[in-house]
């Protein structure tokens, strides 16, 4: 049997995508919802020691936090392998971001409209790197509904950066968000081929 001479033995193209956003925005939930494999999580329990550092306003029921990354995978027709890296949301863990961003096609910035200002650092990070990103408004129960225009104005986003509504708990919703990011990156001239090299 000769490997490499038929499409059957061709390895899928690896595409790296970041899932970023503020503390409690739903990054771990989204990676877990869309991943075809059991996601790798680096969550630790929130403690009383961190109470003066971790602002739980609006996310009082949150019991854990990501300290390094979340990791999941999606296969698309055996042609593409999406590797999803959820970034830590708290400022004290942001040093991990530079390593995670290397070779990424782009990023989804998850935003919680109850704490919209928490997504500003993520938006600033990807704007400064000139890396394609979209904003996904995670529709939490009890959150105040804002129009896309209101959110765009509040964040100060350029008109060409997509803003979409999503439910990070639902696989189909998360996949639609990822498709929107890939389409946006391609429009920006970023090729999905070889993004992880």
What 8-state DSSP symbol labels residue 94? G
- The per-residue pLDDT string of the chain (197 residues; one tens digit each, 9 = 90 and over) reads 344 455 556 778 899 999 999 888 899 999 999 999 876 655 555 454 444 445 555 555 545 555 456 889 999 888 889 999 998 866 666 677 888 888 999 999 999 888 889 999 999 999 999 999 999 999 877 666 788 899 999 999 999 999 999 999 999 999 999 999 999 999 998 877 655 54
Which domains does the chain possess? 7-187 (3.40.50.300)
CA separation for the pair 106, 149 (Å, rounded) = 23
pTM of the entire predicted model: 0.78
What is the C-alpha separation between 58 and 88, in angstroms, rounded?
18
Place of tokens 């001239």: 189
84 - beta bridge partners? 17, 72
């Amino acid at each position: 049997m000769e490997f490499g001479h038929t499409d059957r033995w061709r390895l899928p193209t690896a595409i790296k995508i970041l899932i970023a956003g503020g503390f409690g925005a739903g990054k771990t939930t989204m990676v877990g919802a869309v991943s075809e494999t059991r996601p790798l999580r680096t969550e630790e329990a929130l403690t009383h020691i961190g109470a003066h550092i971790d602002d739980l306003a609006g996310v009082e029921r949150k019991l854990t936090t990501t300290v390094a990354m979340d990791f999941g995978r999606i296969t698309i027709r055996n042609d593409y392998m999406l590797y999803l890296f959820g970034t830590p949301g708290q400022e004290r863990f942001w040093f991990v971001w530079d390593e995670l961003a290397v070779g990424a096609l782009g990023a989804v910035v998850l935003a919680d409209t109850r704490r919209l200002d928490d997504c500003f650092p993520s938006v600033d990070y990807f704007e400064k790197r000139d890396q394609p990103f979209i904003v996904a408004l995670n529709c939490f129960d009890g959150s105040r509904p804002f129009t896309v225009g209101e959110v765009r104005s509040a964040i100060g986003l350029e008109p060409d950066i997509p803003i979409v509504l999503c439910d990070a708990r639902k696989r189909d919703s998360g996949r639609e968000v990822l498709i929107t990011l890939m389409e946006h990156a391609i429009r920006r001239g970023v090729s999905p081929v070889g993004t992880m090299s």
